[in-house]
Chains A and B, each alone.
Chain A
Amino acid sequence: MNKHFFDSDIAWCPGCGDFAILRALDKAIAAAGVDRKKLVLVSGIGQAAKLPHYTQANVFNGLHGRALPAAVGIKLANHELEVVITSGDGDMYGEGGNHFLHNLRRNVGVKAFVHNNQVYGLTKGQASPTSDLGFVTKVQTHGVISPAFNPIALAVVEDCSFVARSFAGDPQHLQEMMAAALQHKGGFALLDILQPCVTFNKVNTYQWYRERVKRVDPSHDPYDRAKALDLAFKWGDEIPIGILYLSKRPSFEEQQVVLRRGRLVGQFAGQ
């Protein structure tokens, strides 16, 4: 545990879903056998993006919306590092939307754990790309009128190699999903985590999610893209959680001629 964990207060509100995500991550790292010395936690800006400071790992806490390109640069420079992004919905789907779109295609083996609380926390309560229609804020005073961004459906459409959803209120499930993502070898992994914001989102509460989340049936074949897309469109009365889609397409690293010679950082061969 980082000494700042003791020295300073964690910047999250009491009861925040981020605490459960942090605990699950620590357990998943152990369960997946990840060597923390080889682990890099990458984040952008936002409340979720502070997570790397509250555990033990190498940290690249970069710019708002830019966790993905930084993580990709790190992974391509040294693909023996385990590179995990922990950032929020505003960071990944809003400010970083273009990077999200294109890294689903690129399929570099970084793992994105998106704390999706459907609201902007650090800027105090504006709508996020995943806010539901009608969600009223101090900016969206008449309620959100643009339909919510659907990261899961987009990831399936773009043939993302690992697509899963979990819920911060189901720590066991969350830890399993994180461990599965960490063990995934086929490229980019997206884990969208439903995370209640106890301060700024009075609609999508623990209770609201608990009544709706439903683990995908064990019979679901994650390689069935059409079925995965059906699940991806489910939102409202029932929200499926679990591994929704897997693809067997090759990772970016496997296809890079230069990386067949080993790690890029190992090829520098200088001081």
Chain B
Amino acid sequence: MDLQLRIAGAAGQGVETTGDLLVEAFAALGLHVFATQTYMSRIRGGVNWFDIRIADAELFSGRRRADLLVALSKEALEWLRGEPARPGVADPGVILFNGSEGPGVTGVLFEQVAKELGGSAIMANTVAAGAVLAALGYEVSGLEELLRDRFARKGEEVVAANLRCVRKGAELGVAAAGRLKAPQPVGAPRGICSGNEAAGLGAATAGVKFVASYPMTPSTGVFTFLASVADEYGILVEQAEDEIAAINMVCGATYAGVPAMTTTSGGGFALMVEGVALAGMLELPAFIFLGQRPGPATGLPTRTAQQDLKFAINAGHGEFAKAILAPGTPQQCYDLTRHGVELAHKYQTPVILMSDQSLADMRKNCTDLDTSYRPISRHIVENPGGDYLRYAVTGSGVSPRALPGGEAFVVLDSDEHTEDGHITEDLEARVRLQDKRMRKLEGIRAEMLSPSWHGPPEAGHVLICWGSTYGPCREAVDRLNAAGQPTAMLHFSQVWPLRAAPIREALGDRRVTCVEGNATGQFASVLREVGVLSDCELILRYDGLPFTGEEIAERVRR
């Protein structure tokens, strides 16, 4: 039993504020919640929407058509009620419109009510939240409690004004009640995680002390989250003049012993690429949060895609070890950020964590993430001898790493160098050092995070996915199995390097379909390259919107 709501309006109308408030209110009721945002690259106007799906069981994906639409603007109403091709509102559905009554439309003058009862149009989101809860037959008392908590600092009058707005919204929303069957609360976790906040918290608790970034959607949320907790965790957050500066500052900070990271997206990452190779050559634990969006070039700045996988795998001139992680849920964003920062230090090489807009802005209930400071191990050697060699050749390829400022000089050079770090054109040394650096890739490969299987072990058809496609694929598999079509999902949260043999053996001769948010099946291509697959079917999407579980299931059946 589930229901999908869509809050839509112009940029600047409070779509996100209303959505956030409702997400918290539903979670407070004990419902499972899953929310995503779709917005335009503008600060005012246009049509943005915030989707909230609620259910009595855990949710992993949204739905295409909404059962209930809250239209804050006329444009939003017209656009989302328009052609069936648009991700609009189901027929019959409930529409609460910030305007006059019409056929199939319940008029609620959110802004007017807010001005009258709250003294400010800003409280329209509170009116809307009250109306939605009432239209679905839920109590508003939980929402009232949230508002009391949220506005307590601003004084009694602000709290009272918000409560008046909620109650009036509920009164007006009752007009639409009884038309939709709403799921019953089941005691779902009240905590809400978003992908970007979870990644940021993972970094802060792992001991990342330095962050340098240039803002770029959809990675900015990680950057601003870290800034918001910087004083608490002791993190120096600096807005770099460009992405090239950001990655080079990160390299400098890691050299001096501080776990450091940068956050970026496609075009910004493209600028960083020389610095990624620098981290590879200098053997520095640079950690990069890469929030993908559709390209090429500026592309669709605020939409979602998984188009930069091969770019990330190959990012950097020359050859060096790197690891690429791709979380599928906010919880994984947290866990894999911590894991990635540690991995970068263990192997002294860059690690990239790939998210995308849909995961960045995804909100979902989750049990509270651990906010306690649990720093990773930097794998540092204290007090090395006077004959210290920064790049001592070892079996694992990992050389003991000391920090500058101690007894031994620590010498790094982006030129090929000898074991002491100094520039060389000794070509035998070149081969020894290149081999040493590449051996680290084998270590990372050997401890590759195992892909996760969901669905019956004997299923004859496997959907392979990576990163943010986890949720929709998982739901699709559940739908297909419920419909008597045995299907399983194999989700990769580490996409590079890969251990091919065990995956190839697990797949056997099953039918395989790769589900990816790009136009060319990049992961399928990587799997072929490393020898996991010979061939496979593809389900691709690259219109800038995330997959839904129902869509994947339909496309499998077709």
List which A38-73 residues lie within 8 A (CB) of chain B. Answer: 38, 40, 42, 45, 50, 52-53, 56-63, 65-66, 68-73
Contact pattern, B 525-550, Cβ under 8 Å of A = 1, otherwise 0: 00000000000000000000000000
Contact pattern, B 398-427, Cβ under 8 Å of A = 1, otherwise 0: 000001111101111111000001110000
Closest to A271 in B: B377
Assembly CA distance A52 to B414 (angstroms): 13
A239 interfacial contact with B, CB 8 Å: no
Q: Which residues from B are CB-within-8-Å of A53?
A: 413, 422-423
Assembly CA distance A56 to B244 (angstroms): 29
A66 touches B244 (CB 8 A): yes
A81 interfacial contact with B, CB 8 Å: yes
Closest to B240 in A: A69
B413 touches A61 (CB 8 A): yes
Q: How far is the CB of A23 from chain B (nearest CB, A)?
A: 20
Closest to A269 in B: B375
Contact partner, A268, options B207, B212, B413, Cβ 8 Å:
B207
Q: How far is the CB of B173 from chain A (nearest CB, A)?
A: 45
Assembly CA distance A62 to B253 (angstroms): 13
A157 interfacial contact with B, CB 8 Å: no
Contact partner, B248, options A70, A81, A270, Cβ 8 Å:
A70
B245 touches A81 (CB 8 A): no
Q: Which residues from B are CB-within-8-Å of A71?
A: 252
A81 touches B405 (CB 8 A): yes
A2 interfacial contact with B, CB 8 Å: yes
B234 touches A267 (CB 8 A): yes
A101 interfacial contact with B, CB 8 Å: yes
A59 touches B253 (CB 8 A): no
Q: Which residues from B are CB-within-8-Å of A271?
A: 375, 377-380
- With contact pairs A77-B252, A270-B377 given, residues A37 and B406 touching in the complex (Cβ less than 8 Å): yes
A270 touches B378 (CB 8 A): yes
- With contact pairs A62-B414, A73-B260 given, residues A50 and B234 touching in the complex (Cβ less than 8 Å): no
Q: Which residues from B are CB-within-8-Å of A203?
A: none
A59 touches B275 (CB 8 A): no
A45 touches B414 (CB 8 A): yes
Q: Which residues from B are CB-within-8-Å of A207?
A: none
Q: Which residues from A are CB-within-8-Å of B244?
A: 65-66, 69, 98-99
Q: Which residues from B are CB-within-8-Å of A267?
A: 209, 234
Q: How far is the CB of B276 from chain A (nearest CB, A)?
A: 11
Q: Which residues from A are CB-within-8-Å of B407?
A: 37
- With contact pairs A61-B414, A256-B236, A270-B375 given, residues A74 and B209 touching in the complex (Cβ less than 8 Å): no
- With contact pairs A38-B405, A59-B409, A72-B249 given, residues A101 and B258 touching in the complex (Cβ less than 8 Å): no
Q: Which residues from B are CB-within-8-Å of A77?
A: 209-210, 252-258, 260
Q: Which residues from B are CB-within-8-Å of A98?
A: 241-242, 244-245
Binding stretch for chain B, among A169-177, A215-223, A257-265: A257-265
B176 interfacial contact with A, CB 8 Å: no
B234 touches A58 (CB 8 A): no
Q: Which residues from B are CB-within-8-Å of A69?
A: 212, 240, 244-246, 248-249, 252
Closest to B345 in A: A271
Assembly CA distance A68 to B422 (angstroms): 20
List which B194-248 residues lie within 8 A (CB) of chain A. Answer: 207, 209-210, 212, 230-231, 234-236, 238, 240-242, 244-246, 248
Q: Which residues from A are CB-within-8-Å of B274?
A: 63
B105 interfacial contact with A, CB 8 Å: no
Q: Which residues from B are CB-within-8-Å of A61?
A: 412-415, 423
Contact partner, A73, options B210, B234, B242, Cβ 8 Å:
B210
B259 interfacial contact with A, CB 8 Å: yes
B404 touches A40 (CB 8 A): yes
Q: Which residues from B are CB-within-8-Å of A265?
A: 209, 256-258, 403
Contact pattern, A 239-271, Cβ under 8 Å of B = 1, otherwise 0: 000000000000000001111010011011111
B282 interfacial contact with A, CB 8 Å: yes
Q: How far is the CB of A74 from chain B (nearest CB, A)?
A: 4
Please indicate which of the listed interface residues A36, A53, A257 has the most CB atoms of chain B within 10 Å of its own CB: A53
Q: How far is the CB of B195 from chain A (nearest CB, A)?
A: 26
List which A188-202 residues lie within 8 A (CB) of chain B. Answer: none
B251 interfacial contact with A, CB 8 Å: yes
B376 interfacial contact with A, CB 8 Å: yes
Q: How far is the CB of B252 from chain A (nearest CB, A)?
A: 3
B512 interfacial contact with A, CB 8 Å: no
Contact partner, A58, options B260, B410, B422, Cβ 8 Å:
B410
Q: Which residues from A are CB-within-8-Å of B140?
A: none
Assembly CA distance A141 to B411 (angstroms): 40
Assembly CA distance A71 to B210 (angstroms): 14
B251 touches A102 (CB 8 A): no
A81 touches B251 (CB 8 A): no
A224 interfacial contact with B, CB 8 Å: no
B253 touches A74 (CB 8 A): yes
Q: How far is the CB of A223 from chain B (nearest CB, A)?
A: 27
A81 touches B375 (CB 8 A): no
A63 touches B275 (CB 8 A): yes
A78 interfacial contact with B, CB 8 Å: yes
Q: How far is the CB of B404 from chain A (nearest CB, A)?
A: 4
Q: Which residues from B are CB-within-8-Å of A101?
A: 241
Q: List 7 A-B contacts (CB under 8 A).
A: A50-B423, A57-B409, A58-B405, A66-B278, A73-B255, A76-B253, A101-B241
A interface residues (Cβ-Cβ under 8 A, vs B): 2, 4, 36-38, 40, 42, 45, 50, 52-53, 56-63, 65-66, 68-78, 80-81, 98-99, 101-102, 256-259, 261, 264-265, 267-271
